[in-house]
């Protein structure tokens, strides 16, 4: 863990659904796939390939 400038706050952790480090425990959802905010996977164009893979 790095402690630079006294900042030890983790803004993004590994998302359970998309596996990316984009889950925000503060907001309670993943900024990549929308996990936690909606039961549906965010349907952005750039995420279609992810939906297909999963
Ligand atoms: Zn996610």
- Expressed in angstroms and rounded, the spacing between residue 2 Cα and the centre of ligand 1 is 24
Return the C-alpha torsion angle 24, 28, 29, 30, nearest 10: 20
- Domain ranges for the chain: 1-54
Topology of domain 1-54, CATH = N-terminal domain of TfIIb (2.20.25)
Mean pLDDT of 10-22: 90
Q: In the predicted model, what is the mean pLDDT of the chain?
A: 74
Q: Which tokens sit at 20?
A: 């990316």
Greatest C-alpha distance within the chain: 41
Q: Which residue has the higher pLDDT, 30 or 52?
A: 30
- Expressed in angstroms and rounded, the spacing between residue 6 Cα and the centre of ligand 1 is 27
- Expressed in angstroms and rounded, the spacing between residue 7 Cα and the centre of ligand 1 is 24
Q: Which tokens sit at 6?
A: 């006294």
What ranges make up the beta strands (E) of the chain?
Answer: 23-24, 29-30
């Amino acid at each position: 863990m790095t402690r630079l400038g006294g900042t030890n706050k983790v803004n993004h952790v590994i998302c359970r659904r998309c596996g990316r480090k984009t889950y925000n425990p503060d907001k309670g959802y993943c900024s990549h796939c929308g996990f936690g905010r909606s039961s549906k996977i965010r349907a952005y164009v750039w995420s279609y390939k992810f939906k297909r893979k999963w």
